[in-house]
Amino acid sequence: MTSATATVLVVDDELKLRALVRDYLEREGYGVLEASEGRAALDLARTAHPDLVILDLGLPGLPGEEVARLLRKTSDVPIVMLTAKAAESDRVMGLRLGADDYVVKPFSPRELVARIEAVLRRTRGARAAAEEAAVCYGSGWLRIDTERREVQADGRPVELTRTEFDLLTALASRPGRAWTRMELVGRVQGHTFEAYERTIDVHVKNLRRKLGDTPPSRVVVTVPGVGYKLGLDKDA
């Protein structure tokens, strides 16, 4: 995310401070939104979806701490707290509320911009990693997020047990490859044990039911005399 495409919401009740921050941000190519109190900030965050929020804690009405707490309930937008509260306990509290950085007044506008850039770089990297961890199959019909251990089938979330998820990710690691039951036991249990071999059939049955993979199954396909394979191609 570059400054040319990032929008920053500045939340502070001091008009001069908002103007100063806006000046420096716009000079670097950022879009800027402003709010002077907490409720307006929450409304803007919900409707305008800024890329980052600069948040003063000493706001009239709804305190900045409460704004941060409410933001974190519904959004992972990066928050940089900008406040006169300089005690270590205040910094710790701010970070525990979900702040990505904490800047104490009086501050250097250049340093603030540099910190914003650093936070956006970090969050961009984290989001890119999360996107890489989510892989789609069958033109988006099946989506597996290994970081969050979440699965979607035909756009709906699917609740899987640990074994079912591990079984699906094993099959998805090599779409089209035929896996024996014993190989799948090894991937799911961490070791091969003959007594578990036929339990794979039970897990496959449950997995198909949860995915809505009705006969003839096209997701988890039976390979006669061998075992199973993923019948969907990995999306490019």
Q: Would you state the pLDDT for residue 1?
A: 46
Q: Would you state the pLDDT for residue 131?
A: 56
Q: If 0-12 CB within 10 Å is exposed, 13-18 middle and 19+ buried, where does residue 123 land?
A: middle
pTM higher than the cut 0.85: no
Q: Would you state the pLDDT for residue 2?
A: 46
* pLDDT (tens place) for every residue of the chain, 236 residues total: 444 579 999 999 999 999 999 999 999 999 999 999 999 999 999 999 999 999 999 898 899 999 999 998 888 899 999 988 888 888 888 888 888 899 999 999 999 999 999 888 887 766 665 556 689 999 999 999 988 889 999 999 999 998 899 999 999 999 999 999 988 988 887 555 555 667 899 999 999 999 999 888 999 999 999 999 999 999 97
Task: Using DSSP bridges, classify how beta strands 134-137 and 150-153 pair: parallel, antiparallel or unpaired.
Answer: unpaired
- DSSP 8-class letter at 60: S
Q: At a CB cut-off of 8 Å and minimum separation 6, what does 125 contact?
A: none
